Amino acid sequence: MKKIYLFFLLLFLTTYYYGQDIYTSEAPNSHYYSAYNVSFNGNGTLYFTTDGSDPTLNSNSAVNSFNVFIDANKIVKVFIVDNQNTTSQIKTFKYFTGEIPLAKIFFKPPSNWTSSCVMVDMVEPVSINGMIIDANWNLQSTNCEGWLKKETPFYHSNLIFSNCPIAPIGAEYSGIIPAGSLILYDFTNGEISNPPSCLNLGTSELSKVVIVKIYPNPTENFLEINSKIDFVNYSIHTLDGRIINVNQLNGKQIDVSKLSKGNYLLKLSSKNYETAIIQFIKK
């Protein structure tokens, strides 16, 4: 009798759990050059939008499944009311199609590096034409004062500059870079906005430069953030990855007065999943 009871209890819990899940035929943040269909499946009534707005009980709905034709970049938001009449949280799915804009990456390594690479850690999309292509790319010479370059397509990505180990540890990080950006990263001076003229960058290209800076660095009490990106959260980590502090960001200033002296990483995050990771010194 106990076994029968446990069986039905397990069946109930399993049905309830899966009733709250939404499954898709393509992973979120997928990309294909040609238009494609994505099916959404769940055990219950699915309420959804395809324009990025939050769905309500008055939105389009379907029982157990529906399809969305991805003929342009789309944000699909879905919630499910399952067989127990329980409403799930809204889930967001992004899908990409068509050409992806190129980002131009320029990097000036320290003089003692014998080679230089950039790890392109793609965030949006996570694949190009169905293939995940996160890779450690060799940078090419520009013949300009030691600067190197790479062009690669993405909408948002983390960049990790290193001296080309297979798994770059302790490398320099840039922030998540928006689509079509121009990145100028000097290992010694960080991100810059005044590149040398020998890079032959036009005014229109320089308008796309992404800058995230913190100052003063080193600091005793506060860090000021200088960026066009509207960051809303931050965390402070030791160089070995241990989290020291996680908090919301109000304004452009962070109090670090209570930190012990040493080197830290500051991670900044925006509502649009843009991230910057910058090293600083607490005096």
Position 271 scores a pLDDT of: 75
Is residue 14 in some structural domain?
no
Is residue 233 in some structural domain?
yes
Residue 165 CB contacts under 8 Å (≥ 6 apart), including other chains: none
Position 210 scores a pLDDT of: 61
Position 15 scores a pLDDT of: 34
Is residue 27 in some structural domain?
yes
Q: What is the CATH number of the domain that holds 58?
A: 2.60.40
In 109-238, where do the E strands start and end? 117-124, 135-138, 140-144, 147-153, 156-162, 172-173, 182-186, 190-191, 212-215, 222-227, 231-238
Average pLDDT, consecutive stretches of 10 residues, N- to C-terminus, the chain (283 residues): 37 37 92 96 95 94 97 95 91 92 86 83 83 78 92 79 63 52 78 82 67 82 85 85 87 92 85 71 91
Position 206 scores a pLDDT of: 65
User: Do 95 and 28 contact (CB within 8 A), yes or no?
Assistant: yes
Position 204 scores a pLDDT of: 65
Strands 231-238 and 243-248, by their bridges, are antiparallel
Is residue 180 in some structural domain?
yes
Domain assignment of residue 236, given as a range: 212-282
Position 179 scores a pLDDT of: 57
Is residue 127 in some structural domain?
yes
By C-alpha distance, which of 167, 160, 138, 132 is closest to 151? 138
Position 272 scores a pLDDT of: 66
Which amino acid belongs to residue 41?
Answer: N
User: Do 76 and 84 contact (CB within 8 A), yes or no?
Assistant: no
User: Do 163 and 115 contact (CB within 8 A), yes or no?
Assistant: yes
**Whole-angstrom Cα distance, residue 49 to residue 75?**
8
Is residue 252 in some structural domain?
yes
By C-alpha distance, which of 101, 100, 110, 106 is closest to 201? 106
Task: Please give the angle made by the CA atoms of 118, 191 and 218, to the nearest 5 degrees.
Answer: 115
Is residue 92 in some structural domain?
yes
What digits encode the pLDDT tens for the residues 225-243?
Answer: 887 778 888 989 887 778 8
User: Do 57 and 46 contact (CB within 8 A), yes or no?
Assistant: no
**Whole-angstrom Cα distance, residue 143 to residue 165?**
24
Same domain, 203 and 217: no
Return the DSSP state at 198. Answer: G
Position 94 scores a pLDDT of: 92
Position 6 scores a pLDDT of: 37
Is residue 161 in some structural domain?
yes
What digits encode the pLDDT tens for the residues 131-177?
Answer: 876 667 888 999 999 999 988 887 777 777 888 765 554 444 444 55
Same domain, 118 and 195: yes
Last residue of a domain, one of 72, 97, 122: 97
Last residue of a domain, one of 164, 191, 208: 208
Last residue of a domain, one of 34, 69, 97: 97
